[in-house]
């Protein structure tokens, strides 16, 4: 089957296999976004007289049918067809005749794939944001539920000072707030329209780029057509850094939970269904789900560097190197969503040990509480520090295992409500509803 770009000489089959690579597989993720982009593009073409009203309506109906086929799982990129753009154009031409050949006027596969990637990415970011919000709320709920239950805090893996499950769960909740802010920034960078940049140098057609920007619900466009193409790889890298931030939070939480679940700690108990056994040790309940979460999230934290190494030191303009980014970028969203789902399930079902500090081996963590008590009563801090240290060495230290912290963010004043407000403000700042309304309106155009 002829490629869009082929003339009289057909490409060698081995060369085709090597150059196409996994592109057709990756393009299936982009298929419905390619159709939505084409709907906006032909609407703009009709407005400037490159399509008749009748052709526009016929093509819209044809694209809606293809969109439905994609949604229903009946769409495929045929053998011999290079990519999703070619497949959509082929189906329209088969079904509608010459009108199908007109949809590519004023664009290149370069700006088409840029657009598809941006539409795909912003949709995936919306899903990630929803999953992060779900996990965030679970962490806040558990923080409130166990805010009075103490556990030892550690520095250098040595028992250090009293902490609480309220602080522990809440710390990861607030970490997700910062991660979400970074994700919002990546979304804003992504949500700019590259369509109309063509191969990176614009078009002699009088394209109305403001119109496609509005139709697709973008915040603005990538104005400079050369920069629009320079954004290929940069957008993916920026988004990958945001995904890596979330992955870093999940990885640390998974590590804590595996540590705290071990018999030497016994602070929490993970759900039995999230553990596996040993082939020779009948007592084992291994925290495999969180171990795999940790590994997957650590792999995701390497994603920005992978993208950077592929795109690094390329001059301006399009290069085929950028195709390889799709193979590592597109699957990352599903992997992170999977980890978010698993983490949310375990956090919800995790059992907390409410009697950790009954064991006197943790008594020294109250040393700072005693130093502060003596200082409040008038003893110079350094003298109080020395006295308590000598008492501990002599085995004379005692404390009632009570703490009275009141400042903002401490175990007695978690500020969970304020942290929740921060998260809600960030979620509202994405502006997802504007994009939903634009795409729904576009799909329903008649």
Q: How many CB atoms lie within 10 A of CB 74?
A: 9
Are 78 and 119 within one domain?
Answer: no
- End-to-end Cα distance, the chain: 33
Domain that holds residue 432: 109-358+415-443
Q: What is the CATH number of the domain that holds 90?
A: 1.10.275.10
- Over residues 197-222, the pLDDT tens digits come to 999 999 999 999 999 999 999 999 99
pLDDT of 5 strictly over 60: no
In a domain, 382, yes or no: no
pLDDT higher than 70, residue 294: yes
Q: Identify whether residues 210 and 229 lie together within a single domain.
A: yes
Query: Average of pLDDT values for 136-164?
Result: 96
- Answer whether residue 9 shows pLDDT above 60: no
Contact 42, 207 (CB under 8 A): no
Residue 179 shares a structural domain with residue 286: yes
Residues 6+ positions from 412 with CB-CB distance below 8 Å: 403, 404, 405, 406
Minimum mean pLDDT range among 51-55, 68-72, 152-156, 281-285: 281-285
pLDDT-derived band at 80 (thresholds 50, 70, 90) equals confident
Residue of 96, 90, 97 whose CA lies nearest to 34: 90
Number of compact structural domains in the chain: 2
Task: Quickly state the pLDDT bin for 277 (edges 50, 70, 90).
Answer: confident
Q: Which two tokens stand for residue 179?
A: 């991660």
Instruction: Give yes or no: residues 292 and 239 share one domain.
Output: yes
Q: What is the pLDDT of residue 14?
A: 76
Residue 219 sits in a domain of what CATH number?
1.20.200.10
pLDDT digits 0-9 by tens, 346-398: 999 999 999 999 999 999 999 999 999 999 999 999 999 999 999 999 999 99
Q: CA-CA distance, 430 to 380, in Å (whole number)?
A: 51
**Domain shared by 321 and 208, yes or no:** yes
Q: Are residues 93 and 123 in the same domain?
A: no
Q: Could you tell me the CA-to-CA distances from 293 to 53, 335, 342 in Å, in that order?
A: 53, 9, 8
Of 81, 102, 123, the residue that ends a domain is 102
Distance CA 57, CA 45 (A): 12
Residues of the chain above pLDDT 90, percent:
85
Mean pLDDT of the chain, nearest integer: 93
> Two tokens at 201?
């140098």
* Both structure tokens of 161: 């000072």
């Amino acid at each position: 089957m002829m490629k869009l770009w082929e003339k009289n000489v057909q490409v060698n089959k081995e060369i085709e296999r090597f150059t196409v690579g996994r592109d057709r597989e990756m393009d299936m993720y982009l298929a419905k976004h390619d159709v939505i982009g084409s709907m906006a593009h032909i609407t703009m073409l009709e407005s400037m007289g490159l399509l008749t009203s009748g052709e526009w309506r016929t093509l819209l109906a044809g694209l809606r049918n293809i969109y439905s086929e994609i949604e229903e799982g009946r769409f495929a990129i045929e053998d011999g067809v290079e990519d999703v753009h070619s497949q959509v154009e082929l189906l329209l031409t088969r079904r509608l005749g010459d009108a199908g050949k007109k949809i590519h006027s004023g664009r290149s596969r370069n700006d088409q794939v840029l657009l598809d990637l941006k539409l795909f990415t912003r949709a995936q970011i919306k899903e990630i944001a929803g999953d992060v919000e779900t996990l965030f709320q679970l962490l806040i709920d558990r923080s409130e539920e166990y805010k009075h239950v103490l556990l030892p805090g550690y520095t250098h893996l040595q028992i250090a000072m009293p902490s609480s499950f309220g602080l522990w769960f809440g710390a990861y909740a607030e970490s997700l707030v910062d991660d979400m802010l970074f994700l919002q920034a990546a979304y804003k960078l992504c949500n700019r329209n590259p369509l109309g940049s063509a191969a990176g140098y614009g078009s002699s057609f009088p394209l109305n780029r403001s119109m496609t920007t509005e139709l697709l619900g973008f915040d603005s466009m990538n104005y400079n057509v050369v920069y629009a193409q320079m954004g290929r790889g940069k957008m993916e890298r920026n988004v990958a850094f945001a995904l890596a931030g979330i992955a870093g939070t999940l990885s640390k939480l998974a590590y804590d939970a595996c540590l705290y679940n071990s018999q030497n700690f016994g602070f929490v108990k993970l759900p039995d269904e999230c553990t596996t056994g040993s082939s020779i040790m009948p007592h084992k309940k291994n925290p495999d789900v969180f171990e795999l979460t940790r590994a997957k999230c650590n792999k995701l934290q390497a994603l920005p560097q992978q993208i950077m190494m592929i795109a690094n030191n390329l001059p301006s303009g399009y290069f085929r190197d950028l195709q390889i980014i799709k193979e590592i970028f597109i699957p990352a969203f599903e992997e992170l969503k999977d980890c978010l789902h698993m983490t949310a399930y375990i956090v919800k079902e995790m059992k907390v040990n409410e009697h950790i500090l009954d064991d006197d081996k943790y008594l020294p963590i109250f040393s700072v509480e005693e130093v502060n008590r003596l200082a409040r009563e008038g003893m110079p801090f350094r003298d109080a520090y020395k006295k308590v240290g000598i008492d501990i060495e002599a085995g004379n230290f005692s404390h009632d295992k009570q703490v009275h912290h009141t400042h903002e963010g401490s175990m007695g004043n978690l500020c969970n409500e304020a942290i929740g407000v921060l998260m809600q403000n960030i979620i509202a700042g994405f502006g997802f509803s504007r994009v939903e309304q634009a795409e729904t309106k576009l799909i329903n155009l008649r």
